[in-house]
Amino acid sequence: MISPELLEAARLGDRRALARAISQIESDPEMAGLDRDRSIPVIGITGPPGVGKSTLVNSLITQLRESGSDISVVAVDPSSPITGGALLGDRIRMQQHVDDAGVFVRSMASRGHLGGLSIATRQTVNLLSQSGFDLVLIETVGVGQSEVEVMDIADRVILVLAPGWGDQIQADKAGIVEIADIFVINKSDRDGVEPLHRSLVEIARSGEQERPIVVTNAISGEGVSELADLVGVTSA
């Protein structure tokens, strides 16, 4: 069980205490028993491996920080087959924010847990929602069509795809495509953006409300401001 003193320090902005508390959650996620502050939005960012989720999250953080929002990120990485720990690829891509007190990034290993998340993700998100941030981002490990656990934690889900995925999307419209609230076509400098966009239009128009499709280049920043506007976070 996390001590009340450690929890209080984390909630008051002590980042070292926050990191320690999350480590304790990872050791025993069922014992944490933390409630989420529902006033803090939680956004899930998911998609297949190699579509540029981490680079996009990094660029999105930069955009959101310009508006003064304090951002926390839970980045779920594949587990090392040797140590069982996270491979930390996501944190490496977000190094430019390491000295920014308004950004907190925590990588955690999936540890074989299915669904694209870690078993400790939910309680970690609950703690972050209580710790003074304006937004919690969850970046899932690279997922397939059936790994949709992020929808149970996030208020909205951003599905990131890249050119070349159009045929697969048309062939299988179930699963993760159905839970997406926002579609992002990343790597806009590559061939195949238009076929993928056409494949998504029909899906985006299904349901009660049409879902937006944003075309981005996470490296250059193209389209990221539009995505940040859709996230719609304002600092407290």
Q: How far is CA 167 from the centre of its chain?
A: 25
Judged by DSSP in three states, 101 sits in: coil
In the chain, where the domains are located: 37-231
User: Who's near 27: CB < 8 A, 6+ residues apart?
Assistant: none
Confidence bin at 118 (pLDDT 50/70/90): confident
Q: What is the mean pLDDT of residues 184-193?
A: 95
- CA 114 to CA 23: how far, in whole Å? 20
pLDDT in tens, 64-91: 999 899 999 999 976 554 444 445 554 5
Residue that the structure tokens 């069980």 belong to: 1
The pLDDT value recorded for residue 215 is: 98
- Quick check: 169 and 197 in contact, CB under 8 A? no
Q: Which residue has the tokens 């304090």?
A: 70
Residues in the chain: 236
Answer yes or no: is pLDDT of 105 > 60.
Answer: yes
In the chain the first and final C-alpha atoms are separated, in Å, by 30
How many whole angstroms separate alpha carbon 158 and alpha carbon 16? 30
**Tokens in use for 197?**
């966009």
Q: Taking 80 as the threshold, does the pLDDT of residue 94 lie above it?
A: no
CB atoms < 10 A from the CB of 95, how many?
10
Calpha distance 39→24 (Å, rounded): 25
- CATH architecture label of 37-231: 3-Layer(aba) Sandwich (3.40)
Report residue 133 as tokens. 């941030």
Q: How far is CA 33 from CA 1, 3, 76, 117, 132, in A?
A: 9, 12, 21, 18, 19
List the Cα angle 189/194/198 in 5-degree steps.
Answer: 145
Judged against a pLDDT cut of 60, whether residue 163 lies above it is answered with yes
For residue range 4-62, what is the model confidence (pLDDT) as tens digits? 999 999 999 999 999 999 999 998 877 768 999 999 999 999 988 889 999 999 999 99
- 120-144 pLDDT, tens digit each: 999 999 999 999 999 999 999 876 6
